Amino acid sequence: MSDNVFDVLAAMANLPGTADTMLVDEYFVDKPTASARIFRIYRDLPLHFHRECDEHLYVLSGRGTFHLDGEEFEARPGLLLHFEKTKVHGFPHISEHPLVVLSVDVPRRRPDDVVFVDPSQGDAAAFMARNAPENQA
């Protein structure tokens, strides 16, 4: 495929079955102005926020509870979630795996731009790993 066309379902199939981090992602677009990626969430994702980007999340598979700025919603395939930087969010409960999300971040979200509401629940290193052959199970 070209550098501008991406097979999201193929990328979803290539995400590892397990991970040491909370999520594993694979970038389609990684530019300063915006990034597009797919990620799989492996365990409940504590409340957190990002300082530098707005996020658009489209749920591809799985189900769970999505928390956004004090409200909770059922996360399910076909749901599009949008929120601005600094809005507290997370997936405090996953009820059906695999929970896979397509994400568009504007501007690009740096991998270390994650702030946990409760710092004891994680940090950037525990949060995310990029999908690479050595990460696949």
Domain containing 53 equals 8-135
Residue 106 in any domain: the answer is yes
Residue 131 in any domain: the answer is yes
Q: For 34-93, what is each residue's pLDDT tens digit?
A: 999 999 999 999 999 999 999 999 999 999 999 999 999 999 999 999 999 999 999 999
Residue 2 in any domain: the answer is no
Q: Into how many domains does the chain fold?
A: 1
Nearest to 71 by CA among 92, 45, 53, 85: 92
Residue 37 in any domain: the answer is yes
Q: Provide the sign of the torsion angle of the four alpha carbons 15, 100, 22, 125, taken in this order.
A: positive
Average pLDDT, the chain: 92
C-alpha span between 85 and 19 (Å, rounded): 26
Tell me, what CATH number does 36's domain have?
Answer: 2.60.120.10
Predicted pLDDT at 1 = 63
Cis check for the bond before 46: say yes or no (omega within 30 of 0): no
pTM of the model: 0.89
